[in-house]
Amino acid sequence: MLAFGLLIDAFLGDDDDTSESTPPVDDGTIYGSTGDDILNTGPADDIVNAGAGSDIVHGGLGNDVIDGWTGDDELFGDQGDDTLLGYEGADSLYGGNGADVLAGEAGNDNLAGGAGNDQLTGGLGEDNLTGGTGNDGLYGGTGDDNLNGGDGRDFLAGGEGNDELRGGNLGDTLFGDEGADTLYGNGGWDRLYGGEGDDVVRGGWGNDSLYGDYGVDTLSGGQGDDYLSGYYRGTNAGIDEDDDGDLLFAGDGDDVILMGNNDYALGGSGNDTFETGTWINADSAPRIGDFDPAEDTLNIYYDVDTPPAGAPVAQLSATIADATEVLLDGNVVAILYDVTDPTLVTFATIGTEFAEAS
């Protein structure tokens, strides 16, 4: 029955059979039943409350708001700038064309933005989010989520849980947040942040910036001129608050590698710059496995407010065979494996505010 007024409602009864509504032609609200419904809206801007049951709802034309409510629902925005809310259950939300907002909320949900600049939020549960074309924002929420930005310049944040984040072929920004996350920048000039937890961060193609943040992280720059940071500044300037030790693999290209306490770094091919500083604790010097004195450079940072008393010193290690130690004011700030002639090492001391070096 259709009741026309300020709101236009379609009441479908409360049986358990699949039922289908005929949409109103003006802006209105469609209500589902407690059963499994098929609801199709019209060309206007509609509001749908699917109700209980595992429902299928198509938004059609217009900027629609569709709430799946309880049950395992399938919601399609189709045309227009739509808002799809899964609520409870294992829901599947498809934005279609337009700038859509999709929220899975509770349950293990599948969200696909489609075309347009979409915003996807998984919420509770282990969710799969795919941005599609356009510049999208994907937020996993709690649970072990999978986020794929697709085409466009996307922003991905995993949230709590052990998440997997994948960028597309353009410049994306990925945040792992909490948990042991895996991040793939793929193509484009990406910015990737592991966040808390033991993360794996891979840049892929392009000139990428990779930050391990807190935890025992593995960073791989891949192809391109990349920036890798194992140094975790936290809230204290000039102090590496994470001494667990990261693995930093720069790969091809002329890369910059900022090292923290107990890190192990490989520059790969190219003219690489390794960076260390007075944030290195005693007996926690980062190790460089492939420093080539003919191609690579070592930069040593210090705070301009507390400059070192003397110049850095490179000397053969007394405890590690075929290795050179670089010391600043008596503290070892880097260990260079397979470098047996310290006089060949090129390094520079750089005074800075430590916020600039992080």
- Over 80: is that where the pLDDT of 215 sits? yes
Is pLDDT larger for residue 186 or for residue 7? 186
- Over 90: is that where the pLDDT of 358 sits? no
Please give the share of the chain, as a percent, with pLDDT higher than 70.
87
Is pLDDT larger for residue 82 or for residue 26? 82
* DSSP structural state of residue 330: T
- The pLDDT, as a whole number, for residue 229 is 96
Tokens of 327: 């010391």
Residue length, the chain?
A: 358
**Helix, strand, or coil here: 166?**
strand
Residues whose CB is less than 8 angstroms from the CB of residue 191 and which lie 6 or more positions away in sequence, other chains included: 171, 172, 173, 174, 208, 209, 211
**Helix, strand, or coil here: 355?**
helix
Across 225-242, average pLDDT: 74
| Distance from the first to the final alpha carbon of the chain | 64
- The pLDDT, as a whole number, for residue 64 is 96
Q: How confident is the model at residue 217 (pLDDT cuts 50, 70, 90)?
A: very high
pLDDT per residue as tens digits for the range 291-303: 999 999 999 999 8
How many Å apart are CA 267 and CA 257, to the nearest integer?
Answer: 8
- Over 50: is that where the pLDDT of 185 sits? yes
- The answer to whether the CB of 127 falls within 8 A of the CB of 144 is no
- The answer to whether the CB of 130 falls within 8 A of the CB of 150 is yes
Across 186-213, average pLDDT: 96
Angle (CA) 251 257 259, round 5°: 130
Is pLDDT larger for residue 9 or for residue 51? 51
Q: What is the overall mean pLDDT for the chain? A: 90
- Over 60: is that where the pLDDT of 18 sits? no
Residues whose CB is less than 8 angstroms from the CB of residue 141 and which lie 6 or more positions away in sequence, other chains included: 104, 121, 122, 123, 124, 125, 127, 159, 160
How many Å apart are CA 300 and CA 276, to the nearest integer?
Answer: 5
223-241: b (≥16 Cβ within 10 Å) or e: bbbbbbbbbbbeeeebbbe
How many Å apart are CA 263 and CA 344, to the nearest integer?
Answer: 23
- The answer to whether the CB of 229 falls within 8 A of the CB of 358 is yes
How many Å apart are CA 250 and CA 275, to the nearest integer?
Answer: 13
- The pLDDT, as a whole number, for residue 6 is 26
pLDDT per residue as tens digits for the range 325-347: 999 999 999 999 999 999 999 99
Residues whose CB is less than 8 angstroms from the CB of residue 94 and which lie 6 or more positions away in sequence, other chains included: 74, 75, 76, 77, 84, 112, 114
- The pLDDT, as a whole number, for residue 235 is 55
**Whole-prediction pTM value?**
0.88
- Over 60: is that where the pLDDT of 206 sits? yes
The domain ranges of the chain are 230-358
Distances (CA, A) of 141 to 109, 120, 145, 157, 189: 11, 10, 8, 8, 25
Across 178-182, average pLDDT: 97
pLDDT per residue as tens digits for the range 98-112: 999 999 999 999 999
Region for 293 from its dihedrals, namely left if φ exceeds 0, alpha if ψ lies in -120 to 50, beta otherwise? alpha
Positive or negative, the Cα torsion across 112, 89, 139, 216? negative
- The pLDDT, as a whole number, for residue 242 is 64
